Structure 1
């Protein structure tokens, strides 16, 4: 087991974040909505990208963290490695998250002549929820009741942090029964009637990702490798398209009254992660398209944080700069998209190079220094989570 990045997983990250960005065009970049976006939404929605992120996250975190924790020979060693995991994760995620929370709060105060960023009161409470990692609970409480604020996408980040705060404790308490406990967690959510609260504390996709990571240590994982997808380069792409269409169809409003669709989305997303986990180019042959999507995947965290504030900033800029008598953004969708996507790519690349990568390395270095200050412990060959 190692921490080498899997290109097929990066591919899925790219697909996931593009789906979320597309889903948020309606109502954020185009507040009045566009007819063609509404037509697409009637047949397929793309918010399932969040569940794909959850499944990827569970797999990537667990494949490095759980072998480390299970290799521990004492309680002190276990908590040292848990602390190291939390430190690396904090340095990787929190600086960017806090930066964009602050920028959205400032925008609601100083760059909000159009009202695009919402009220200062809502954004202030949204910032507190994002900082203290209870954004998912506040989002559930606000749903159809009151304004959340511009940083509503932080609900998924808070849910992940809650899950990974508890995962080491599950490993410690459940030991050899961990897989059964996670499986029970998935089954309960699959058959439960999803209230608004349960929609924002859903952990089934993450649990399935962890189960997949546990499975990779068994011989049956290699036995069940879908080698048939390698028989023809178009088979994997066809499967990817069909699964994407199926996920989009399940995510449409016509399934709101059903209680199984979110669990079904989690299972299908985990299926994609399973295929990608072999890193054999089963889903898409190597080439320019895959390289581009993998690049998007490597910047997906920044894109996820930045896309909504960029959409709102473009609306504000249009409100301030467009000549009197000109049409709104809804009447200039191609120009609006070009401006928003160009700014999004620029800011996400800057965020990756200036914030994400340096501070991720800083966290790894801090863990290394902490390691040299204590007695050596057996290594699992994994350096980061």
Structure 2
């Protein structure tokens, strides 16, 4: 079996997800209204991100399971911190800077609103701010990061508290079933009052797609252990079919008001789970065509997710100053606007990926390993290392 092939295909799915997320937000990339206000995004990219995240984090936890639960959780939290927070904080600072000094046309939104939203971002409560009467402004993408951060503050304790995959599987199924009738249920929130305290609370913790990712990991591992490869090809074709089916269902149900909200929040995690399950089988099959190219995008998906929003605001400010045409623009100008946005976004993302994201991820990995090793040293070894350190400092 080839686990690297599985990781490549998961990264490829991240690449697919970020492409569709960016396409979903493309109405904001230029200051001219070329869609006539009727743009419909064809794919729920964030949902796919959540499912992939649940799968990959469970894979990581099983790979790093230690004899000591406490030290394993500490190491996991430390790696996650250096994976997520530094780049996130950099973009928080850049957004606040942009809303202060590069906000002539107001595309960054109100500085006061952004300062308030940054509090919700830093306290990991952005998802509840997102569903309230006031938006997150320039921090619009941070609602999904808050959901992941909340889930991963709880999940490691559940993971290490349950002693078997079977127990974890049933716990995740039970949590999914328990959350589904309440969390982000449009019928319930409309009945309670969408902007009532309870209505807002029930819209916030949308953990179901991440739970689907955990379930997919456990089921796929059991499937690979029990069945040979003769079932893989039809299942992978089925997963690919689910990816093609989602855009059709998404567009058909998007305009259906309450029906859209309810059905989309149920079937997109399930279909995304089928897609991730198909990708998981690549550990003993050839990867899909184009997986390596998409995996390059996928490895930068977190940076692209954070950068594409503020970069769009910066480029809209620029093009508003150069060609202020609110009702439209010529074809050449539109192409130039999109091209300049793509160049700036990819360029900034690549620089931060190479010189910030990757070095800090590696630092987090190494320091987590050192933390684990230090906590498992015997007292005599620890004392000897302390004495050696004192000797080195002596004249």
1:262 aligns with 2:252: no
Range moving further from structure 2, 291-300 or 116-125: 291-300
Partners of 2:294 and 2:213 in 1: how far apart?
21
Which deviates the most, 256-265 or 90-99?
Answer: 256-265
Query: Would the alpha carbon gap of residues 255 and 283 (structure 1) be closer, same or farther in structure 2, given more than 3 Å must change?
Result: farther
**Which residue in the other structure is 1:34 paired with?**
34
- Bigger shift: residues 242-251 or 181-190: 242-251
Report whether the alignment pairs 1:201 with 2:181: no
Deviation by residue 1:308-335 (Cα, 9 ceiling, x = unmatched): 111100111112334xxx6358424322
Contact 1:14-1:298 at 8 Å conserved across structures? yes
1:117 alignment partner, SS class: coil
Work out whether residues 32 and 327 of structure 2, in 8 Å CA contact, stay in contact via their aligned partners in 1.
Answer: no
Gapped regions of structure 1 (runs ≥ 5) = 378-385
Deviations 1:132-170 (A, max 9, x none): 2111111122xxx23422011011011101001100122
SS across alignment from 2:256: helix
More displaced 10-residue stretch of structure 1: 237-246 or 111-120: 237-246
Question: Which range moved further: 304-313 or 275-284?
Answer: 275-284
Determine which of 103, 123, 130 is the counterpart of 2:121: 130
- The 1:178/1:224 distance shift into structure 2, 3 A limit, reads same
Equivalent pair of 2:14/2:301 in contact (CA under 8 Å): yes
Tell me the residue number matched to 2:227.
223
Check the 8 A contact 2:99/2:110 in 1, yes or no. yes
**1:113-148 superposed Cα distances (whole Å, 9 cap, x missing partner):** 11000001110011111112111111122xxx2342
Equivalent residue pairs, number:
356
What's the offset of the Cα at 1:224?
A: 8.1
Q: SS in structure 2 opposite 1:183?
A: helix
1:9 paired residue number: 10
String of CA shifts for 1:161-208, please: whole Å, max 9, x gaps: 100110012224444432212102222344442446444311111001
Structure-to-structure mapping, 1:178-193, within 5 angstroms: 178-192=168-182, 193=185
Bigger CA radius of gyration? 2
When you count helix as a share of all residues, which structure comes out higher?
Answer: 2
**Gap regions ≥5 residues in structure 2:** 195-199, 379-395
Deviations 1:29-60 (Å, cap 9, x if unpaired)?
A: 24664337725x1xx533x1101000000000
Kindly provide the CA deviation profile for residues 241-289 of structure 1, in whole angstroms up to 9, marking residues without a partner as x. 5234245336623253352320111001111000001126979733xx4
Report what 2:56 is aligned to. Answer: 60
Question: Relative to 1, partners in 2 of residues 1:247 and 1:339: Cα closer, same or farther, differing over 3 Å?
Answer: farther
Indicate the RMSD between aligned Cα atoms, in angstroms.
2.9
The answer (yes or no) to whether the contact 1:63–1:214 under 8 Å persists in 2 is no
Q: TM-score, normalised by structure 2?
A: 0.81
SS at match of 1:257: helix
